[in-house]
Structure 1
Amino acid sequence: MTSHPAPDEAIGDLLDQITEQLGCPVPAHLRAALRAVPRHLFLPPTVWLRDGNGDYEPCERGNAPDRWWRAAYRDVPLVTQFAEGPDGDRAPSSSASMPSVVVRMLMALNARAEHAVLEIGTGTGFNAALLSVVCGAGNVTSLDVDPELTRRAQRALKASGQHPDVVCADGADGWRPNAPYDRLIATCAVRTVPLPWLEQTVAGGRLVIPWDTPWCNFGTLTATKQSDGTAEGSLAPYGSFMLLRAQQVDAELRGDIPHEGQEPERSTTGLSPWAVAGNDLDAQMYVGLRVPGARHAWDTDVQGAHTRLWLADDQATSWAGVDYDGRQTSTFAVAQYGPRRLWDEVVQAHEGYVSAGRPGIERHRLRISPEGLRTRHEVSLA
């Protein structure tokens, strides 16, 4: 026997959670959309929840219906699919986003009735359903590259009574048959805005896109398409999404750095590695936007140091290591190799961060411009 609340009560509780997270009431049109498309209709029979130890544990509707239902109406993200990596490790490949983040992004999108909307990343279909209520299903196009996710979303949307145009396609290309669009929203992060997204959005249209750098996966860009074909906007301090599949690269830091025969340049630094790769997301975003292609990883199982911060570039030609000896925090040993001195670049970026008054993520403005078959972005501070 189950003891979970009725859908209306559960949705009301979720709205209260979202309101608390936002610090303001959910706008009326989005409240109506959330009540019209109950979240549980878009979740698979098994979802995965954080287990408190850095991993995930399954929650099955058949075995634990009350727990599954509570998870469906909590303001938390839920992993709905895993993919196996090249080393046999599994990693989340699709999720149901945190409802308060969904609402934040829809508020930023400011979509209204009759707006033509392109969604990149259908996922469960929940966001497409909300957009269908707000704009009319005939005005919503949603893309996902995964055929199985697309089929599941189509079934869930049908069950909810919403019928947007859901297409299995590479979202990086946009969807020209239904273009142009007044609004574009992505439920995956990018490091560069795909040119078709810019081209398929009308002048004056709005784009809401989670942002990613190899250094820091956090923040959401809200930009307006300009009459000259560019787009300009600012970042907001929320949103951590999986990277657009077309921009995923197999260039993660590996345990065999340094490679045999590579002799690094050695020095010391007074900048703590935790200052740029710790809990200060404002600092991490500043560094990530100004040290292109640089990524980092912590290592506590390394010879010669208590803890090491590894750095490498996306070309796998340069790397650095910054060592904490486990005793004092005024000086750290540095090793750097390759054509780029990555740690020196990070130190310079951090100096800029401090001299600018430690700006928050929301002070970063991005200008997106077409450049051949790609786009480029310029960063400034508001």
Structure 2
Amino acid sequence: MGALTTDWLPAFKAVPRELFVPDVVWPGQAAGTGQEDSVDRRTDPDGWRRAVYADVSLTTQWDDGEHSGAGKGRVPTCSNSQPSMVFSMLAALDVEPESRVLEVGTGTGWNAALLSQRLGSSNVVTVEVDADNAATARARLGAAGYSPMAVVGDGAEGWKPSAPYDRVLITASLRRIPRAIVDQVRPGGIIVSPYATEYGGEGVVRLTVREDGSASGPFVGSSAFMRLRQQRTQRKHVREYLGGKPWPADGVRSVTSTSPDDVGDWLPMFAIGLQTAGVFPWAEEYDDGSYTLWLRDTAVTSWATVDYEPGAAEYEVYQSGPRNLWEEVRAAHRWWDGQGRPGFERFGLTVTADGQASAWLDAPEHPVPSVG
């Protein structure tokens, strides 16, 4: 995705990122989605400032606030987003003077401040589910001179009292576009949101709401946001799929020439996820560089494993259950490959008036096929 556009440059200059970053942060890695060790402004002010003005995300909370201290927690649950991503999404929002904007996911408050600087605080509503994050963001906004309506609540429900909105900016990853949010946008209004598949991969989609209550539009690039809290899932352990038996249990053996590496990058994962239903991967890695790709279904009926070894020409497969998950994933990958390996920007999404979402390639008239 692109960088800062000239119409947002005055807001960027007026709203320094450092005003919305806490003392302790975990900088994101330039490649991938992991975090570096923590940086503390009080003990390493120069390192903290370098992190703040680097083009990386900054994790600011772990485990919904249950983790404390300088070490990493289990799951990052709040961040100050990567600047290039922030401004790419703001550019996609395509605001006009006096646009009424709903932001879902206040986080540290930086986006709300940028929107308030550009549009005026009275035109911005921001919703945050975490009361502590909301309180600290509200304090930072006030100290910087901004006063958008800051609501503590379920972002998936939007904020109906201030609807309708001209624009909605969602700063958490979704697997489903909430119907309540679409309903709160006027016809012709725009929703910009990260959208993730069950299989993995994620892109930012730009939806335009229609008169009939549906919404449709293209993806504008890749993304990697934390999941909206209301759409998180708890995965069953692999032992639940094996019925208490040691692997490979009742799995049926075969071999494949398709490498697990082929289906493990962000873009092919996204393309596979748009075609498959309820399938998700997990890689069990080993010290010698080999790994086992596990595939499981959300219904806990089927599983598959594919063993990767560096330099191998064939890979051992075991599958069990009514669904042949590896064959589904391979079929989805073949379709993507056969279309010329399209990037995120060639895909789009339509959300019908009854809340059903369907993906398409190049135009809504060309739906992405379903596998399985």
**Superposition TM-score, scaled by structure 1 size:** 0.87
Against the structure 1 CA distance between its residues 75 and 362, is the aligned structure 2 distance closer, same or farther, given a 3 Å change threshold? same
For residues 364-375 of structure 1, what are the structure 2 equivalents within 5 Å? 364-371=347-354, 375=355
Amino acid at match of 1:353: W
Amino acid at match of 1:344: E
- Quote the residue 1:293 is aligned against: 278
Q: 2 CA distance for matches of 1:322 and 1:63?
A: 47
The farther-off stretch of 63-72 and 144-153 is 63-72
Alignment pair present for 1:234 and 2:218 = yes
Q: 1 CA distance for matches of 2:231 and 2:334?
A: 30
The farther-off stretch of 112-121 and 66-75 is 66-75
Q: Secondary structure at the match of 1:101?
A: helix
Amino acid at match of 1:336: Q
Query: How far did residue 196 of structure 1 move?
Result: 0.5
Q: 1 CA distance for matches of 2:253 and 2:159?
A: 51
Partner of residue 52 from structure 2, selected from 68, 72, 75: 72
- Quote the residue 1:3 is aligned against: none
Amino acid at match of 1:350: H
- Quote the residue 2:2 is aligned against: 22
For residues 323-334 of structure 1, what are the structure 2 equivalents within 5 Å? 323-324=307-308, 326=309, 328-334=311-317
Alignment pair present for 1:181 and 2:165 = yes
Q: 1 CA distance for matches of 2:61 and 2:169?
A: 21
Against the structure 1 CA distance between its residues 85 and 97, is the aligned structure 2 distance closer, same or farther, given a 3 Å change threshold? closer
The farther-off stretch of 306-315 and 121-130 is 306-315
- Quote the residue 1:38 is aligned against: 16
* 8 Å CA contact 2:60, 2:80 repeated in 1: yes
Q: Secondary structure at the match of 1:81?
A: strand
> Any unmatched runs of 5+ in structure 1?
1-20
Against the structure 1 CA distance between its residues 51 and 110, is the aligned structure 2 distance closer, same or farther, given a 3 Å change threshold? closer
Amino acid at match of 1:286: A
Alignment pair present for 1:283 and 2:268 = yes
* 8 Å CA contact 2:29, 2:56 repeated in 1: no
The farther-off stretch of 243-252 and 154-163 is 243-252
Alignment pair present for 1:354 and 2:337 = yes
The farther-off stretch of 102-111 and 338-347 is 338-347
Partner of residue 254 from structure 2, selected from 249, 255, 267: 267
Q: 2 CA distance for matches of 1:85 and 1:112?
A: 36
**Deviation readout 1:96-120 (Å, 9 max, x if unpaired):** 0001100000000011221110000
RMSD of aligned residue pairs (Cα, Å) = 2.5
* 8 Å CA contact 2:27, 2:58 repeated in 1: yes
The farther-off stretch of 313-322 and 157-166 is 313-322
* 8 Å CA contact 2:351, 2:357 repeated in 1: yes
Partner of residue 126 from structure 1, selected from 110, 113, 122: 110
Query: How far did residue 336 of structure 1 move?
Result: 1.1
Q: 1 CA distance for matches of 2:29 and 2:337?
A: 37
Q: 2 CA distance for matches of 1:346 and 1:188?
A: 26
Amino acid at match of 1:91: V
Alignment pair present for 1:379 and 2:364 = no
Q: Secondary structure at the match of 1:57?
A: coil
Query: How far did residue 362 of structure 1 move?
Result: 1.0
Alignment pair present for 1:59 and 2:44 = no
Give the paired residue count.
353
> Any unmatched runs of 5+ in structure 2?
67-71, 363-372
Query: How far did residue 91 of structure 1 move?
Result: 1.4
- Quote the residue 1:102 is aligned against: 86
* 8 Å CA contact 1:237, 1:361 repeated in 2: yes
* 8 Å CA contact 1:323, 1:334 repeated in 2: yes
Q: Secondary structure at the match of 2:60?
A: strand
* 8 Å CA contact 2:28, 2:56 repeated in 1: no
Against the structure 1 CA distance between its residues 173 and 294, is the aligned structure 2 distance closer, same or farther, given a 3 Å change threshold? same
Alignment pair present for 1:161 and 2:145 = yes
The farther-off stretch of 199-208 and 284-293 is 284-293
**Deviation readout 1:11-47 (Å, 9 max, x if unpaired):** xxxxxxxxxx836xx3333111111111111111111
Q: 2 CA distance for matches of 1:309 and 1:148?
A: 38
Amino acid at match of 2:20: F
Alignment pair present for 1:340 and 2:302 = no
* 8 Å CA contact 1:117, 1:140 repeated in 2: yes
Query: How far did residue 269 of structure 1 move?
Result: 1.4
Amino acid at match of 1:168: V
* 8 Å CA contact 1:47, 1:79 repeated in 2: yes
Amino acid at match of 1:284: M
Query: How far did residue 260 of structure 1 move?
Result: 2.2
Q: 1 CA distance for matches of 2:236 and 2:79?
A: 22
Q: 2 CA distance for matches of 1:253 and 1:135?
A: 47
Q: Secondary structure at the match of 1:370?
A: coil
**Superposition TM-score, scaled by structure 2 size:** 0.89
Q: 2 CA distance for matches of 1:34 and 1:370?
A: 36
